[in-house]
């Protein structure tokens, strides 16, 4: 799943931003529910907790994508070094 998200172009910074936004959305949903719904503070608390649980998921996805990005970068560096390594192995010893 993570490699698919990475191939689709989803960046770790987007997931971190979504995590931060969900923290704000959690507070906003709690506040709106508390002030607008007649159900009381219990329902507002449930809404706030429900939306607040999205943040750790987004942050975890961000970490996983950061690792995938690091692996992708190291693969590119290895591919760039391969021609240099093959040139070294072709030269006769002692030159």
Residue 8, φ and ψ in degrees, nearest 5: -75, -10
> Residue 74 has what pLDDT?
75
pLDDT of the chain, 95 residues: tens digit per residue: 888 989 899 999 999 999 999 999 999 988 888 888 787 788 888 888 888 899 999 999 999 999 999 988 777 777 777 665 555 555 555 55
> Residue 38 has what pLDDT?
80
> Residue 14 has what pLDDT?
95
> Residue 73 has what pLDDT?
76
Residue 84, φ and ψ in degrees, nearest 5: -65, -40
> Residue 23 has what pLDDT?
94
> Residue 72 has what pLDDT?
80
DSSP string, 22-64: HHHHHHHHHHHHHHH-TT-HHHHHHHHHHHHTHHHHHHHHHHH
CA distance 41 to 81: 61
């Amino acid at each position: 799943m993570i490699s698919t998200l990475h191939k689709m172009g989803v960046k770790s910074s987007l997931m971190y931003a979504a995590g931060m936004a969900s923290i704000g959305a959690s507070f906003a949903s709690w506040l709106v529910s508390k002030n607008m719904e007649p159900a009381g503070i219990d329902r507002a608390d449930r809404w706030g907790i429900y939306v607040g649980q999205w943040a750790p998921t987004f942050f975890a996805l961000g970490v996983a994508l950061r690792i995938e990005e690091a692996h992708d970068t190291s693969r590119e560096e290895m591919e760039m070094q391969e021609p240099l390594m093959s040139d070294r192995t072709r030269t006769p010893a002692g030159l």
